[in-house]
Amino acid sequence: MTPVDVSAHDRERIEGVCDDALRAVLAAVAPSHVFGVGVYAERCVLRAVGDSTVPVGRILHPSPASPAANRGWESAVEAALRASGVVVPTC
């Protein structure tokens, strides 16, 4: 089930609880950046952090429905992180 499969009323209730939990985690962890995995998650992060000064970004969501969409996923994520100023260690 994806968010669009849930009624708007139920989605609002669920998102409210999730936003509260995310704000609590962010307050406890105090990250330097926050990334949503996919567009929906990025929107949720932006809604939850509000006026916070923590930079918010997005990385690609790997798609179990389309293995072709996952080609080059790791390098695309690393590029997105670097573009946001995150230092990505190399092994």
pLDDT in tens, 62-84: 877 777 678 888 888 999 999 99
Q: How far apart are CA 77 and CA 75, in angstroms?
A: 5
Region 55-59: mean pLDDT is 92
What pLDDT, on a 0 to 100 scale, did the predictor assign at position 63? 78
What pLDDT, on a 0 to 100 scale, did the predictor assign at position 64? 76
What pLDDT, on a 0 to 100 scale, did the predictor assign at position 49? 87
What pLDDT, on a 0 to 100 scale, did the predictor assign at position 57? 92
Contact between residue 59 and residue 83 where contact means Cβ atoms under 8 Å apart: no
What pLDDT, on a 0 to 100 scale, did the predictor assign at position 53? 86
Q: What are the pLDDT digits (tens) for 8-56?
A: 899 889 999 999 999 999 999 999 999 999 888 999 999 988 888 889 9
Contact between residue 15 and residue 21 where contact means Cβ atoms under 8 Å apart: no
Single out the residue of 77, 80, 81, 57 nearest to residue 69, CA to CA: 77
Q: What angle do CA 62, 67, 70 make, to 5 degrees?
A: 40
